[in-house]
Amino acid sequence: MKVLVTGGAGFIGSHLVDRLMEDGHEVRVLDDLSAGTLDNLKRWLNHERFEFIEGDMRDAETVENAIDGIEVVFHLAANPEVRIGSQSPELLYETNVLITYNLLNAMKDSGVKSLVFTSSSTVYGDAEIIPTPEDYAPLEPISVYGGAKLAAEALISGYAHTFDFKALIFRLANIIGERSNHGVIYDFINKLRRNPEELEILGDGTQRKSYLHVSDTVDGMLHIFEAFKKGNKRVDFYNLGNDDWITVKEIAEIVSEEMKLKPVFRFTGGVDGGRGWKGDVKFMRLSIEKAKKTGWKPKLDSYEAVRRTVRELLQTAKAEE
């Protein structure tokens, strides 16, 4: 395939690029390097099947140029920070909704056959059914980030049906692993490196969520995409997560153990009944039965994914010293 990966220099995007290149595809990456880095792509920069375009998707012309000659778009570009929504909702609109609109507008006049989009578990909000299936309703996000992801999903569905291309939408649990540069594990490691005696934990520590390692995520995306291509659905939705979940306090314990530290845990108490911040979904576990029916399942559970991620991030930090 001739593939465009938006956000391909970022955390999940770069792992996806690795797999696509290893599988022999022609890969073009469009990234403004605001959250990603060329270091994540260094092994491919001079490869004949690889092309990198540095550009901002808020500029429609940049997007139009990037999709020239492309068959499949993996749209991962986004501002990944859920917490920013309360301080800068306009930025989340621009870097999630507007860029998706620009991409769809460019696609409608091109030869792109398929779009794969990474949405988020945050579209479900405080779901009353856990594990939460794809057909859960009504979708009621409690963060601007979740609202922006849901708006992007709706635009994609409308454009796919109107302009005759296929769209596969993944609602992701918390994705973790090597190259991640935000999130609870990354924050805990940095806090403990600054002060090994004490660890501040946002919320009351009982927040419980499902975590999926990035290697399992990319496996799932590509496996399900192959099944989707053969099917007759115009638009389809799949959750990607794990069958289990883990509390923030348990994550803190694993990070401390792997760093060989015994810090005092200081809980902030949080907001709205112990959430880490305004808009934080306190309990999240997605049903992955639909994904498992395609033959995919995670190799690592949430606990194993967390421990492996801690080791990967510590190894990276050590190499950079």
- Residue pair 27/17 in contact (Cβ under 8 Å)? The answer is yes
DSSP state of 168: E
pLDDT for 85 equals 46
- Among the listed residues 136, 145, 159, 238, the single catalytic one is 145
Position 82 scores a pLDDT of: 65
Pairing of strands 2-6, 174-176: unpaired
Helices in 56-143 by DSSP H: which ranges? 60-66, 89-92, 99-107
Digit-by-digit pLDDT tens for the chain (321 residues) are: 999 999 999 999 999 999 999 999 999 999 999 999 999 999 999 999 999 999 999 999 999 999 999 999 999 999 877 666 456 889 889 999 999 999 999 999 898 999 999 999 999 999 999 999 999 999 999 999 999 999 999 999 999 999 999 999 999 999 999 999 999 999 999 999 999 999 999 999 999 999 999 999 999 999 999 999 999 999 999 999 999 999 999 999 999 999 999 999 999 998 999 999 888 999 999 999 999 999 999 999 999 999 999 999 999 999 887
CA angle 244, 169, 7 (to 5 degrees): 95
Q: What's the confidence (pLDDT) of residue 81? A: 72
CA distance 76 to 170: 10
Residue 101 annotated in active site: no
77: phi then psi, degrees, rounded to nearest 5: -60, 130
Q: How many CB atoms lie within 10 A of CB 296?
A: 18
Q: Map out the domains of the chain with their CATH numbers.
A: 2-175+212-240 (3.40.50.720), 176-209+243-284+295-320 (3.90.25.10)
Question: Positive or negative, the Cα torsion across 237, 242, 244, 248?
Answer: negative
Q: How far is CA 203 from CA 81, 95, 156, 256, 272, in A?
A: 17, 27, 34, 18, 9
Q: Helix H segments across the chain?
A: 11-22, 60-66, 89-92, 99-107, 144-163, 184-194, 214-230, 248-258, 289-292, 302-320
Residue 86's pLDDT is 58
What pLDDT score was predicted for residue 320?
Answer: 85
Distance CA 95, CA 163 (A): 23
